Structure 1
């Protein structure tokens, strides 16, 4: 087979990494195109995945449209050059558009109802759309569902094991209590009109958690100048080892909240999307009591403090994670099987 993966976000690197490696190991030709956004290309480099950069995220909101116009043309050119049997993306307009124009089969992995009308428009143009069962959106006869989460494509125990020795190399004591917090910029197209933690809430959150141990702060863009805490001490490709051993995770990043939860880390998620009425995957996580979601920043700070002060919280979360794993699949294996099927 010839398989084209298009990645435009750091989370997509993690999502597709094991499928890329599995297909390449089987002798298939794998092509990867990328967008320079945050640490996307750094992660590809860290994992040794060859790729071609087609565009770069700009800071100005007005630049998004022109960037995606250029990216679509470059993706079309790449597909014509690489001549894949299937194009794989996470609901990427340029990838779906290029596959449609070249009559190449395509597979989309989609897990967020916040895409809204974009998903409605792109789904009929793809051969197969795959979503976790928690997703409430229904996109037509080609929409399939699997038991799991995108994050289990790389955090399933068959794919990932936390390495305390790796953390020790970067000065992190995996046996000690520490917290990880994540702040996003709310600058993506699906974040328009939404909000995460306010500046004062961020400061109070970190100060409160610091009473229980080190607080490692991951921020999209520069964090507030007066924010206490430490920057994340590990490189981007080791962030999940840091998450897996944390006593608590708190943040307004939905992706990292799911990652922490499926790793069995006590998790508090806060943003104006709220509960599973908007993002159905969180209904599943809350069914297993793996995440506490709230739209109230003050409530998030209080709940985080309770978890940080609870020595039994980690054991409870690990037992809940075991129950979740009993009911879910190895998503990377599911992904490879679907790609083979669609490629024909």
Structure 2
């Protein structure tokens, strides 16, 4: 599909109420109209208020180097107030921090005892991907390394995590985290993920594809995202996301799982992308998550005038106003023998 074709399909014309609310909160009007289509007016206001709240960072213990309780104790002694993430008990939300040191400059951080995530939602895709699995994993768009290092840890430092990215400065950050956390089972590659099928002589039973996206679910972290992505920009992103998903699926073994995820609540970047790829090939399907960590929301099967494949209801949606985390969407796809 061309950018223009995608643009015509996803275009949303904002109404007067959407324009009014957009003016009040500082958004592009089409974004508000989309929220109203998805949530209704009342929940749109709740979402916008949730986006105004600050998020608290989360630390993920590197259990290959230190016990979570020992790390908790050491950071508590430094003046950090931590709260355990119930569904990822080796991780802690940073409720309060001392004036010094910062959470990213402690002796424990420099020794690789933990990774700092912006929000607990970013832990979900990795946990789902390797639940009950042991084997090599491909992370197609891996930098700066939160998911790749998490997966390497969940695999207990065994097997290999192939961590690929295109952007060099982000790759440097990834390599820095790998070295700091002493993770010897991560192999770093530098490529456009769309070219990986022709470069890798290997197929994988587990792939994570955290595509470059609008970041519309992270407005509480970056307020510029209220006005950063126009509908023409969104169409270009969607085209790239379709291409990335297609390439990722080419690297997936039959009966394997690919976790497609974005830090976006935009249905155009999630259910729409997955539906388009399903329409183009007959060897994939969306499956239910292998584990339920908390009471997340289900994926959308329609939006405005768009109809998605019915199985997009199996996707996962994390909403800021419902779950107290950044907005995140996850679809789990398997390749079938037909």
Whether TM-score is above 0.5 comes out as: no
TM-score range, shorter chain: 0.3 to 0.5
TM-score (norm 2): 0.33
TM-score (norm 1): 0.32
